[in-house]
Amino acid sequence: MLEIRNLQVDRGGNTICRVPRLTVGHAECVALVGANGSGKTTLLRVLSGLERAFQGDVAVSATMRERVYLHQLPYLFRGSVLANVMLGAVARKLPRRQQLTEAHQWLERLGVSHLADRQSGRLSGGERRRVALARTFITGARLLLLDEPFADLDRSGIDGVCRAMAALPEATFLLSSPGVLPQQLADARVNYLDPPS
Amino acid sequence: MELLWNGLTGALQLLLELDPLVLHAAWRSLWISGLAVALAACAGVPLGLLLSQSQFIGRSLCVVLFRAGMSIPTVLIGLVCYALFSRRGPLGSLDLLYTQWGILAGECVLALPIIVTWTHRAVGGLDPRAAETVWTLGAGPWRRCWELISEARAGIALALLTAFARCLTELGIAMMVGGNVKYRTRTLTTATAVETARGEFDRGVAMSTILFLVALLVTVLHAWCNRGKKEG
């Protein structure tokens, strides 16, 4: 799915991300683990196309429309939770009825179906993340780049996210984590990132 | 003091009697200003969005020019419009001088920089993750624009209200381009000036009272939009 060689991102004269080599196969789940400042977010942003100033070779076999990136602090638009999740289906140009059905399904999988009609500004941190994850999963993207998807989540929230990820067997996941991964992701390949010196 | 008191009571009587001269001027002022803002918004909102989201050579200059355009005196706009619409002017064949449409065109020019500048500020002030999120979700350009406008709607509403208030209360364009023709191009501001100069103080106060009430309503709406912006 993707191959990186000698990736380096510099900003303000400092190197903020350095990845000598990384390969991720189709339908694989890879966790980027590293301390703060090791460049996990930058790497995910490079792969999502949001960060364009980099050196090195990055080859991704998914078009921009087939990739989706979830911010470390997800942004929710004004309006209801349901409207936010349906925004994720916009690129697929599905009929509205199908968008609604799928949005409810993803909210259900992530354990937040009761929040469908609530305004996005009235959610807790964990609820916001689960709603943002539902919006990310509904895109149908082949490559999902998730920046610390388990932050702010309690046990049931983590279970919900892992359950939702399992519902996308064809998708490739690249996710970042500052430390230990949940038990449900024991099979995920871990790639350690060292802070660039 | 007595003059003002007599003016206020006379104005109240005119308003209660639905004086045709006052009502015509009020209605004309409202529809011309409203339509001018609506037309200017059709160009101004997309322009403000473009200036806030795109990078191109001369962008900063455009921002500065539109910002400067907010403080152009209305008599100057009136003068330029007069020159353009007069019989010898380049747009003389359109016969816009001393018509409501001439005032409308001038007020569009007045409203445009206000709407562009405030939209640019409103959209540019959004969290950068908003644009990134809608892009990474795969939305097309139109949908991306729509989501950003929707997200900055409180700020854009402020832009429209500010432009409306400025158009409604301006005198220079209405006087120079409209010519203050009774029942044809007379607006609240020109009527206030003329009626007061003629000694019709009651009527002048009546016109000013309507202007004040509309300005008050706009201010209340302005404050309400601002509240929504802070909560958002």
Domains and CATH numbers, chain A: 2-192 (3.40.50.300)
Please write the tens of the pLDDT for every residue from B39-93: 999 999 999 999 999 889 999 999 999 999 999 999 999 999 999 999 888 998 9
Q: In this predicted structure, what is the pLDDT of residue B232?
A: 43
The pTM assigned to this predicted structure is 0.85
Tracing tokens 């996941």 back to the chain, one arrives at A173
Contact between chains at A77 and B127 (C-beta distance less than 8 A): no
Domain count, chain B: 1
Q: How many CB atoms lie within 10 A of CB A102?
A: 20
Q: How many CB atoms lie within 10 A of CB A24?
A: 20
| Cβ contacts of A67 on chain B, cutoff 8 Å | 136
Per DSSP bridges, beta strands A14-24 and A2-11 are antiparallel
Tracing tokens 């964990």 back to the chain, one arrives at A126
Nearest to B136 among A69, A77, A78 (CB): A69
The CA distance from A151 to A184, in Å, is 15
Cα A54–Cα B125–Cα B119 angle in degrees, nearest 5: 120
Please write the tens of the pLDDT for every residue from A132-182: 999 999 998 999 999 999 988 888 899 999 989 999 999 999 999 887 788
DSSP chain A: -EEEEEEEEEETTEEEEEEEEEEE-TT-EEEEE--TTSSHHHHHHHHHTS----EEEEEESS-GGGEEEE-SS----SSBHHHHHHHTTGGGT--HHHHHHHHHHHHHHTT-GGGTTSBGGG--HHHHHHHHHHHHHTT--SEEEESSTTTT--HHHHHHHHHHHHT-TT-EEEEEESSPPPGGGTTSEEEE-PPP-
Which of A52, A63, A65, A90 is the best residue to mutate to test the B interface, defined by the most B CB atoms within 10 Å of its own CB? A90
The CA distance from B37 to B30, in Å, is 11
| Cβ contacts of A88 on chain B, cutoff 8 Å | 137
| Cβ contacts of B137 on chain A, cutoff 8 Å | 68, 87-88, 90-91, 135-136, 139
Contact between chains at B129 and A91 (C-beta distance less than 8 A): no
The CA distance from B144 to B134, in Å, is 6
Range of the domain at B80: 2-231
Q: Helix, strand or coil for residue B43?
A: helix
Please write the tens of the pLDDT for every residue from B24-36: 888 999 999 999 9
- What ipTM was reported for this prediction? 0.91
Does the pLDDT value for residue B17 go beyond 50?
yes
Tracing tokens 């993707």 back to the chain, one arrives at A2
The CA distance from B201 to B194, in Å, is 10
Contact between chains at A75 and B137 (C-beta distance less than 8 A): no
Does the pLDDT value for residue A1 go beyond 90?
no
- Tell me the percentage of chain B whose pLDDT exceeds 90: 56
**DSSP-derived secondary structure letter, B99:** S
* Residue whose C-alpha is closest to residue B125's, from B64, B53, B61, B227: B53
Q: How many CB atoms lie within 10 A of CB B76?
A: 12
CATH number of the domain at B121, please: 1.10.3720.10
Nearest to B137 among A73, A88, A121 (CB): A88
